[in-house]
């Protein structure tokens, strides 16, 4: 019996990069096609399903791959379909989605079960909401030129938005992942 370690093939790595590229493209198309405000009072906080392909890629390829997907998607999205938000939008997307996918992916990656995926996605959503409270208090006043007190008055909407967005995207990921997983692992 041989105990040699099998190295990933160049073809396998190339295929993984292609699959990740397709997930990035799908994410950008989704944010282009589907985006709408959750709370009319703060219409600039728009729901979009762009995190679904990123979460699916995270579950398939791991938390590091999820972070790479997040960064690439955020930059491309930030210079194309969401160019109006500029560097601020890119930075906030990297932070929000990065926390979501690294948290969810790290929990799920250890034990890939349905129960674990629910725990991972719920924890990721909560982590995203908490981190974005701090990010909004620090980063938004700098980029938007508004006092932190104004951001604080919007905090219930910001927290609610992040929980709803991550919750919907997590639920859809939970429903789709096991159906799509075989395609990503071929």
Evaluate whether 60 touches 185 at the Cβ level (below 8 Å).
Answer: yes
Give the tens place of pLDDT for each residue, 127-173: 999 999 999 999 999 999 999 999 999 999 999 999 999 999 999 99
The mean of the pLDDT values for the chain is 94
Instruction: Write the CB contacts of 69 (distance below 8 Å, at least 6 apart in sequence).
Output: 20, 23, 24, 27, 53, 54, 57, 58, 101
Q: How confident is the model at residue 186 (pLDDT cuts 50, 70, 90)?
A: confident
At 130 the pLDDT is 98
Q: In the predicted model, is pLDDT for residue 90 greater than 70?
A: yes
What's the mean pLDDT in 15-30?
96
> 0.75 cut: is pTM over it?
yes
At 11 the pLDDT is 76
Domain boundaries, the chain: 10-184
Give the tens place of pLDDT for each residue, 33-45: 999 999 999 999 9
CA distances from 124 to 99, 121, 128 (A): 7, 5, 6
For domain 10-184, the CATH architecture is Orthogonal Bundle (1.10)
Q: How confident is the model at residue 4 (pLDDT cuts 50, 70, 90)?
A: very low
At 2 the pLDDT is 45
Q: In the predicted model, is pLDDT for residue 13 greater than 90?
A: no
């Amino acid at each position: 019996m041989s105990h040699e370690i099998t190295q990933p093939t160049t073809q396998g790595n190339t295929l993984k990069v292609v699959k990740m590229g397709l997930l990035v493209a799908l994410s950008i198309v989704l944010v282009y096609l589907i985006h709408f405000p959750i709370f009319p009072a703060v219409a600039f906080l728009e729901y979009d399903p762009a995190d679904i392909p990123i979460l699916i890629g995270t579950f398939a390829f791991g938390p590091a791959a999820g972070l790479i997907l997040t960064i690439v998607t955020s930059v491309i999205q930030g210079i194309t379909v969401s160019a109006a938000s500029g560097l601020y939008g890119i930075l906030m997307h990297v932070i929000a989605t990065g926390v979501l996918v690294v948290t969810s992916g790290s929990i799920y990656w250890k034990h890939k079960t349905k129960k674990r995926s629910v725990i991972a996605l719920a924890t990721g959503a909560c982590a995203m909401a908490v981190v974005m409270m701090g990010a909004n208090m620090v980063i938004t006043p700098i980029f938007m030129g508004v006092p932190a007190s104004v951001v604080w008055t919007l905090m219930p909407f910001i927290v609610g938005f992040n929980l709803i967005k991550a919750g919907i995207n997590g639920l859809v990921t939970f429903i789709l992942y096991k159906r799509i997983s075989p395609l990503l692992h071929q």
